[in-house]
Amino acid sequence: MLAAAVQLSAGADPERNLAAGVAAVREAADRGATFVVLPEKWLAIGGADELGAAAQVLGGPVVEQLGALAKELRIDLIAGSISERAGGHGSGGLRLVDGGARAAGTVAAPEGADTRLHNTSLHFTPDGQLVAAYRKVHLFDADVSGRRYRESDAERHGREPVVSRLGGDPSFTAGLAICFDLRFPDLFRALVTGGANVITLPSAFTERTTRDHWEVLVRARAIELGTFVVAANQCGEHPDGSRSGGGSLIVDPWGRVLARAAEDRPEIVMAHLDRGLVDVSRDALPVLDLRRPDVYERPVGDGLRG
């Protein structure tokens, strides 16, 4: 299977971002990719206003367009992550028109409802069906390089891991994760226990953390679980002044980097994924089989008792 990680740089205009993403998916498919992963928040990045202006419901026009694109190109498409209007309030989300975004028949949420958005990764199969939606579990509330990030101000946590079998190659099952999730190996272990043999990681890793942590963590997750990781990162400066570090990666189950993007420009990187490498890696290092949860779940002792 030929996989592609699409690296983009989200600007201030959601319609332009949409056009750039669709064009990149088409290019990847023209180059032979049958499995394409877009980055996190490729429609819009920033605070509550920016995310809200481009937010979608799952039955909305942009989601429908992405399904039609996957069907036309006959690909499995992981549509990065988008801002999802929680609870489906509105009759179609926000339509991207006339160079910007406007509400499409939105209705007010019930009084007292949590109106924060979900950060949601979508999987469309080659028949155009939306078969999985993963809502980011770990929100980026952190302080990096003098900048405070508080995703939880505008977004709310997802509640469950999600795996999804690929339509184009059913020997692969994707485990869906997003950006900051990379730092929580328990989630990745749950995905692999649930059957995943390729992890998709749409991201907007900061420039600083991309430089210091990104490749180390992506390769570590691949190595410790014997799985492919397709990690599509954003790059460059965004309208809110934040910067993403690029360097999108495709890594095999032995931790070898099969493809790497530049740090500073949009790019598509591609690699062939050989399903047999998963079995070879897990047979050589059967870490999952040798785990001792009976020990980890016990109270921590002082080590002095035999």
Query: Which value, to the nearest 10 degrees, does the dihedral of the CA atoms of residues 91, 97, 99, 101 take?
Result: -10
- Alpha-carbon dihedral angle through residues 200, 195, 118, 43, given to the nearest 10 degrees: 20
In whole angstroms, what is the distance from residue 295 CA to residue 302 CA? 14
DSSP 156-189: ----S-EEEE-SS-TT-EEEE--GGGGG-HHHHH
- The reply to whether 235 belongs to the active site is no
Contact between 116 and 195 under an 8 Å Cβ cutoff? The reply is no
Is 72 an annotated catalytic residue?
no
Q: Are the C-beta atoms of 124 and 167 separated by less than 8 Å?
A: no
The number of angstroms, rounded, from the C-alpha of 295 to the middle of its chain's C-alpha atoms is: 32
At residue 4, the 3 state secondary structure works out as: strand
Residue with tokens 């991309």: 210
Helical segments of 77-204, H only: 185-193
**Ramachandran region of residue 155, left (φ > 0), alpha (ψ -120 to 50) or beta?**
beta
Catalytic residue list contains 179:
yes
For residue 155, the Cα-to-chain-centroid distance in whole angstroms is 15
**Active-site residue among 84, 179, 263, 267?**
179
Catalytic, out of 41, 50, 84, 136: 136
Element of type H or E holding 14: helix 14-30
And the tokens for 92? 């179609």
Kindly list the catalytic residues: 40, 136, 179
